[in-house]
Structure 1
Amino acid sequence: MEGFVYGFQRVPEHCHRWRFFGKNLFRSVMDEISNLPLPEAFLNFLEENGIDPSIYTASDSTPRYVRLKPGCEAELEEIEAEMKCKLRKVDWLPGFYSLPPDIQIANSKAYQDGKIYGIDAASGAAVSALKISPGDHVLDLCAAPGAKVCMMLDLLGDSGSVTGVDVARHRLAACRTILQKYSLGDRCRLFVADGTTFSLAPVRVDSVSRSCESAFEDKDDKFREWTSRRPWKERKRAAKAREAKSSQLVAVLVDAECTHDGSVRHIQKFEHWGWRTLQRRVLDAERTDSLTVLQLKLLRNGFRLLKVGGLLVYSTCSLTVAQNEDIVEHFLKENASAELQEIDEAEGWPCKCGRIPKTLRFDPLTSQTSGLFVAKVTKLAT
């Protein structure tokens, strides 16, 4: 496809539509930011995918975001005093606050006490698009490192459940740690599993009875589940209850693995890792081809597990067409029961429309967030 770049002429709609200009403007933008330490191969990658390279100058002004744990609102002033900075409420996303980009939250007492957790506002928007309500049963097919799972459980309140899946054992262990930190583990089960083949089959009682540690040691079983330390009879009752719920998934999030080119902070890490690593992880054609195959498989399986009438959100932190609109279009063509949905929650969100109707794109320049693509699909009766 001919390269393009987002220009700056808006069409008045609730999400911003942008006109496309040609390569001459793209080259002039690149000339203006020629002081950026980006290799020519990466600049060519941006041009081929219509990504404005000036987003990589925005990291110093893009804020960090945190979500305040429900019930801690009265402690906001105390948290601000301890962190020595103002937490600015994100008007378009309930529960979210922005911080200056240089603030580190990990050493703060509020973070250590489980009152705040870091999650980019664009990722929070993807979770919000699922319209989670108390009592829902939700699947996060790429759950690690766990902030989105925490947000889902916050939205569920005291009822419903979340099932988190990730193929990486060490990443899911980090997810388990954050759930324990925020005391959210009792309504969430985690599986070390391939999201492209994961199935919500009934869980064996012997699996449920395992402890946190042993559940991650045995590598022979297809899926490895973590459960909290509760009495055996209580875990057995919970397992039977989950069997009945296995066909009741009303929301599925597929925040798929991608090249992460929409994350400015991620790209900046390659200055330390080396640009050859960027070539291998982001620019290599074999790598990107394997990613698009993986993304489509994840989307297919997530939709297979979704109940009729349920909602699925597909997202990536890539800004490329191949990993976003192309995947969605391919999926819709092969699934007659899948229908793309308008994201009604996006009224007032600082984002652009994607290249196909009803999809959205966040980026550092427009949104003051990390880059993210979001599409919402519902399953129709057949």
Structure 2
Amino acid sequence: MLRTRLKANSEGKLTKQICKVVLDHFEKQYSKELGDAWSTARAILTSPSCWQYAVLLNRFNYPCKIEKDLHLKGYHTLFQGSSPYYPESLKCYLSSSPDRMPSERHQVGTLKKYYLLNAASLLPVLALELKDGEKVLDLCAAPGGKSVALLQCAYPGYLHCNESDRLRSRWLQQTLESFVPQPVVNVIKVSELDGREMGDARPEAFDKVLVDAPCSNDRSWLFSSDSQKAACRISQRRKLPILQIELLRSAIKALRPGGLLVYSTCTLSKAENQDVITEILNTCSDITPVDMKSLARTCSQDFTFVPIGQECGLLVIPDKGKAWGPMYVAKLKKRNHV
């Protein structure tokens, strides 16, 4: 019975149907915005068998044996060599092939040994440069992978994980329970506040803020099972930048003077990425961009970036043998009061 189920699951993954409505929409938009780079990204995004999965080890349940097994399988660590962005406590392994470790099941009272993720989703976490004792806000935290990754980098004095959607908030809480031991749980707060209200609720309360904003999520959109729903979501897509800008304005209010803010999405859309940041820089006098070229140089062997004409932003685009992304990351700093 189990064997049959596994086969069915496996076949289900192999027979994912691409939604033509979404692909046609992406084709029209991204061929214009990205030029030749889109054809490579398109080939990867439409071929799940090429997708790669990174393995983030959990330092709270350190899996020495798994680390040895990963080495034997040909995995290597993200950022081979030293980097000021890459703390020693963070251990993430990548494979250049689309090998996938089995997912671990959630078990009450047992910490998982590793988290499977798109390696590019670590870039916003690393860009935040979290230090021990800092107060940090993860404004749109579900499903919790970036919160877990932040805790692999440092021990914050306080970590506020917010998720406005109740169902996704439960998912976030389960993720934290699966990876974080009790002593660390004591410095974490989970809330279900509308992210646009956080700035007024907690003004200038945080040293670092991560806004991993709701976005088009290109990978999952491409495989929408209902064409009518997909068409509806495409029409609603135009409203997303408005929400993203409102979330960023709230995050800026919640950030202390001198603090750092990182904005990220998992879409290639210029309207949801560069245009959102440009609007913030043009209208928020207390915010300055932070150059991210050194981070891009550090990890250029693992990720493919496309030039986007914005120093404070990076765009990871899926490529052959580097099937990571889409992931956009921008870094901002709040000026100190004069």
Counterparts in 2 of 1:275 and 1:56: CA distance versus 1, 3 Å: farther
Counterparts in 2 of 1:279 and 1:53: CA distance versus 1, 3 Å: farther
Counterparts in 2 of 1:289 and 1:131: CA distance versus 1, 3 Å: same
The answer to whether structure 1 residue 70 and structure 2 residue 70 are counterparts is no
Counterparts in 2 of 1:109 and 1:137: CA distance versus 1, 3 Å: closer
Query: 2: CA distance between counterparts of 1:310 and 1:317?
Result: 24
Query: 1: CA distance between counterparts of 2:310 and 2:67?
Result: 43
Question: Which residue pairs with 1:95 in the alignment?
Answer: 91
Question: Which residue pairs with 2:241 in the alignment?
Answer: 292
Residue 42 of structure 1 deviates from its aligned partner by: 3.9
Question: Which residue pairs with 2:4 in the alignment?
Answer: none
Moved more, 189-198 or 178-187: 178-187
SS of 1:252 mapped into structure 2: strand
Question: Which residue pairs with 2:196 in the alignment?
Answer: 196
| Structure 2: tracts of 5 or more residues without a match | 1-17, 81-85
Deviations 1:14-39 (A, max 9, x none): xxxxxxxxxxxxxxxxxxxxxx8744
Note if contact 1:317-1:370 (Cα within 8 Å) is conserved in structure 2: yes
Question: Which residue pairs with 2:15 in the alignment?
Answer: none
Note if contact 2:130-2:208 (Cα within 8 Å) is conserved in structure 1: yes
SS of 2:217 mapped into structure 1: coil
Query: 1: CA distance between counterparts of 2:327 and 2:25?
Result: 22
The answer to whether structure 1 residue 57 and structure 2 residue 43 are counterparts is yes
Deviations 1:312-350 (A, max 9, x none): 001111111111111111111111110000124333223
Give, as a single letter, the amino acid of the residue that structure 1 aligns with 2:42.
Y
The answer to whether structure 1 residue 177 and structure 2 residue 174 are counterparts is yes
| Aligned with 1:361 (options 302, 310, 315) | 315
The answer to whether structure 1 residue 379 and structure 2 residue 337 are counterparts is no
Note if contact 1:119-1:148 (Cα within 8 Å) is conserved in structure 2: no
Alignment of 1:87-166 (within 5 A): 87-91=75-79, 94-99=90-95, 100-101=97-98, 103-107=100-104, 113-157=111-155, 159-166=156-163
Note if contact 2:312-2:330 (Cα within 8 Å) is conserved in structure 1: yes
Higher relative contact order (CA 8 A, sep 6+): 2
Alignment of 1:155-304 (within 5 A): 155-157=153-155, 159-182=156-179, 183=181, 184-199=184-199, 201=201, 247-261=204-218, 263=219, 266-270=220-224, 273-281=225-233, 283-284=234-235, 287-304=236-253
Counterparts in 2 of 1:355 and 1:129: CA distance versus 1, 3 Å: same
Deviations 1:201-229 (A, max 9, x none): 48xxxxxxxxxxxxxxxxxxxxxxxxxxx
Residue 300 of structure 1 deviates from its aligned partner by: 0.6
Residue 251 of structure 1 deviates from its aligned partner by: 0.5
Residue 48 of structure 1 deviates from its aligned partner by: 4.3
Question: Which residue pairs with 2:11 in the alignment?
Answer: none
| Structure 1: tracts of 5 or more residues without a match | 1-35, 203-245
Query: 1: CA distance between counterparts of 2:212 and 2:111?
Result: 28
Moved more, 248-257 or 59-68: 59-68
Query: 1: CA distance between counterparts of 2:258 and 2:126?
Result: 17
Query: 1: CA distance between counterparts of 2:129 and 2:299?
Result: 15
Query: 1: CA distance between counterparts of 2:149 and 2:31?
Result: 35
Query: 2: CA distance between counterparts of 1:248 and 1:198?
Result: 10
Note if contact 2:120-2:325 (Cα within 8 Å) is conserved in structure 1: yes
Deviations 1:64-83 (A, max 9, x none): 112111262533356559xx
Q: CA RMSD in A?
A: 2.8
Counterparts in 2 of 1:163 and 1:120: CA distance versus 1, 3 Å: same
Identity of aligned residues (%): 24
Residue 109 of structure 1 deviates from its aligned partner by: 10
Give, as a single letter, the amino acid of the residue that structure 2 aligns with 1:346.
A
Question: Which residue pairs with 1:23 in the alignment?
Answer: none
Give, as a single letter, the amino acid of the residue that structure 1 aligns with 2:77.
K
Residue 91 of structure 1 deviates from its aligned partner by: 2.8
Query: 2: CA distance between counterparts of 1:372 and 1:37?
Result: 21
Question: Which residue pairs with 2:3 in the alignment?
Answer: none
* Structure whose alpha-carbon radius of gyration is higher: 1
SS of 2:186 mapped into structure 1: helix
Corresponding residue pairs, total: 292
Query: 2: CA distance between counterparts of 1:143 and 1:188?
Result: 12
Query: 2: CA distance between counterparts of 1:91 and 1:345?
Result: 10
Q: Structure 2 length normalisation: TM-score? A: 0.77
Residue 196 of structure 1 deviates from its aligned partner by: 0.8
Note if contact 1:64-1:98 (Cα within 8 Å) is conserved in structure 2: yes
Query: 2: CA distance between counterparts of 1:196 and 1:365?
Result: 35
Give, as a single letter, the amino acid of the residue that structure 2 aligns with 1:46.
Y
Residue 249 of structure 1 deviates from its aligned partner by: 1.0
Question: Which residue pairs with 1:9 in the alignment?
Answer: none
SS of 1:314 mapped into structure 2: strand
